[in-house]
Amino acid sequence: MTVATVLPGPADFDAWRDAARGLLAAGVPPAEAEWCVPGEAAGLFAEAAHPSAPGPDAGVPRVPRAFVEAAATAIRHADRDRFGLLYRMLWRLTHGEPSLMEVATDPDTARLHAMAKAVRRDAHKMHAFLRFRMVPTEDGVRHVAWFEPEHHIEEAEAGFFVRRFAGLQWSIVTPKRSVHWDGGALRLGPGGSRRDVPPDDAVEPLWRAYYAAIFNPARLKPGAMRAEMPRRYWRNMPETAEIPRLIAEAPKRVAEMVARGGTAPNPRPQRRLHLAPAPCVGEGMDLLDTPDDPAAALAALRQELLGRNDLPDFAARATQPVFGEGPPGAPLLFVGEQPGDEEDIQGRPFVGPAGRLFDRALAEAGVPREAAYVTNAVKHFKFVPTGRRRLHQSPDAGDIAWYRPFLLREVGIVGPKLVVALGATALRALTGKPMPVMKTRGQVVAGLEGHPVFATVHPSYLLRLPDQAGQQREYARFVEDLRAAQARVH
């Protein structure tokens, strides 16, 4: 006889955790536990009952933090077997497999990570592609939006919109539930349909005119555009109504631009400021998503940087921007400071003296470079010209802040399990605050967008040590750091 546990909601992690503790205390194995939520029928032979809470002597099971974090996200997945998967993993973690989360090839572990990733991606799409329409009411204007999530993310993501639009009254309607904010309190309600949301409003023409005005036909890449913004979201976004026309007109407009020729440069250009670039599609576009075509998205990101006309001053003196290289989906992503002289000339990261030392350390640590993704926090070489040499100059806080959105989007597209910060600049770029590398070294800290960040030194630090004994000692320690990072993803 199986024990059926009825949870109050489809994504109630606290209720699942309490029930799972009761099942563990009662010694109920995963094969005899069945889970459901209101509206989902239990098995034919299941005994519909809530397990008793664990007694005071049962204790709280100790599991890795990584499992708790992944489970709290994966429970929002639409897969009906998600509760059973989480309980099965909890049972294994507490019955002789405490390192289960470190076994990336285990089917349950891989499935858990895949489900959590899908939920994060769905949340990102909601942040980026949801559009409000203004609806007059007796209490004033209410902003209403329609969205069709793939998973149970409405309640979890409501906080994002509260923070983003705290001063508005708004409602988000989805097929299964709705979320309402009146400026002071958040309320959940039943779902609705697309008919509950007006198809357009007075602001719609402004959206379309703005999008058409900023569209650059010379940089049209439909494949990269669809990778960042899949067509299934277009029908809810007013600006996308202009896309077919703009694509059709692009060849003619490009020919006209070529015929007109280039414009003369401003003889007195304005001083460039450190202004953080805005996301290319919408709020949150750069944070948690792994697009349908990551390679195309990375290429589009590079093209976007090439098209910026507000780069920091030093970028104009560099030969070219240097983006990362490596396979999308690489489990380890290494972030350095900035390109050096050789990197600037070749257009590839970590190919100079520090890069060659880095390659040797990776090989000794058992980390194939071709299986990792390597990039820099700052994408242009900052230097001071001294005769025939270009003397490296460290990027300042403004430089780091300007390039940070590109770095975070790059990390989000690659989707690593662990980001390794090589040095203080990378650590600051990923966490948003200055942190002492030597005190943080070997630890995992939280990045700005929730990515785990492992801190260690930059390989150039080893080259600057004055004595050979110190270099050998620190090199061996650096190799151990790389081994530790590798162990965390396998």
Q: What is the pLDDT of residues 373-403, one digit of tens each?
A: 999 999 999 998 876 778 889 999 999 999 9
pLDDT band for position 486 (50/70/90)?
Answer: very high
- List 392's β-bridge partners, or say none: 383
pLDDT of residue 135: 87
Residue percentage of the chain with pLDDT more than 90? 56
Indicate if the pLDDT at residue 214 is higher than 90: no
Q: What is the pLDDT of residues 63-109, one digit of tens each?
A: 999 999 999 999 999 999 999 999 999 999 999 999 999 988 899 99
Query: Pick the residue with more confidence: 232 or 132?
Result: 132
Query: Pick the residue with more confidence: 64 or 259?
Result: 64
Query: Pick the residue with more confidence: 390 or 152?
Result: 152
Contacts with 141 (C-beta within 8 Å, 6 or more apart), sequence order: 134, 135, 169
Indicate if the pLDDT at residue 286 is higher than 50: no
pLDDT band for position 207 (50/70/90)?
Answer: low
The CA angle 490-76-7, to the nearest 5 degrees, is 120
DSSP 137-154: ETTEEEEEEE---SSS-H
Do residues 102 and 490 make contact, with C-beta atoms less than 8 angstroms apart? yes
Torsions phi, psi of 452, nearest 5?
A: -70, 130
Amino acid in the structure at residue 97: E
Do residues 19 and 54 make contact, with C-beta atoms less than 8 angstroms apart? no
Indicate if the pLDDT at residue 151 is higher than 90: yes
Amino acid in the structure at residue 475: Y
pLDDT of residue 490: 80
pLDDT band for position 262 (50/70/90)?
Answer: low
pLDDT of residue 264: 60
pLDDT of residue 260: 78
Residue percentage of the chain with pLDDT more than 70? 85
Indicate if the pLDDT at residue 170 is higher than 80: yes
Instruction: Give the count of beta carbons closer than 10 Å to the beta carbon of residue 339.
Output: 32
pLDDT band for position 323 (50/70/90)?
Answer: very high
pLDDT of residue 294: 87
Please report the domains of the chain, with CATH numbers, ordered by start residue.
2-124 (no CATH), 130-196 (no CATH), 204-260 (no CATH), 294-488 (3.40.470.10)
Indicate if the pLDDT at residue 235 is higher than 90: no
Which of 224-228, 236-240, 263-267, 313-317 has the highest mean predicted lDDT (pLDDT)?
313-317
Contacts with 163 (C-beta within 8 Å, 6 or more apart), sequence order: none
- CA–CA separation, 426 vs 372, rounded Å? 17
Indicate if the pLDDT at residue 45 is higher than 50: no
Indicate if the pLDDT at residue 118 is higher than 70: yes
Amino acid in the structure at residue 145: A
Coil, strand, or helix at residue 145?
Answer: strand
pLDDT of residue 373: 96
Query: Pick the residue with more confidence: 225 or 30?
Result: 30
pLDDT of residue 266: 56
* Rg of the chain, C-alpha, whole Å: 26
Indicate if the pLDDT at residue 273 is higher than 60: no
Give the mean model confidence (pLDDT) for residues 442-464: 92
Indicate if the pLDDT at residue 457 is higher than 60: yes
Q: What is the pLDDT of residues 432-451, one digit of tens each?
A: 999 999 999 999 999 988 88
Q: What is the pLDDT of residues 327-361, one digit of tens each?
A: 999 999 999 999 999 999 999 999 999 999 999 99
Indicate if the pLDDT at residue 31 is higher than 90: yes
Helices (H) and strands (E) in the chain, counts: 16, 15
Indicate if the pLDDT at residue 60 is higher than 50: yes
Give the mean model confidence (pLDDT) for residues 314-321: 90
Residue length of the chain: 490
Token code pair at residue 486: 């590798």
Q: In this predicted structure, which of 43-57, 126-140, 206-220, 311-325 has the lowest mean pLDDT?
A: 43-57
Q: In this predicted structure, which of 251-260, 432-441, 474-483 has the lowest mean pLDDT?
A: 251-260
Indicate if the pLDDT at residue 226 is higher than 80: no
Q: In this predicted structure, which of 137-141, 165-169, 405-409 has the lowest mean pLDDT?
A: 137-141
Q: What is the pLDDT of residues 396-420, one digit of tens each?
A: 999 999 999 999 999 999 999 999 9
Indicate if the pLDDT at residue 42 is higher than 60: no
Indicate if the pLDDT at residue 461 is higher than 70: yes
Mean pLDDT (the chain) is: 85
Produce one character per residue of 257-277: b if its CB has 16 or more CB atoms within 10 Å, e if not.
eeeeeeeeeeeeeeeeebeeb
Do residues 116 and 76 make contact, with C-beta atoms less than 8 angstroms apart? no
Do residues 298 and 410 make contact, with C-beta atoms less than 8 angstroms apart? yes
Instruction: Give the count of beta carbons closer than 10 Å to the beta carbon of residue 186.
Output: 13
pLDDT of residue 416: 94
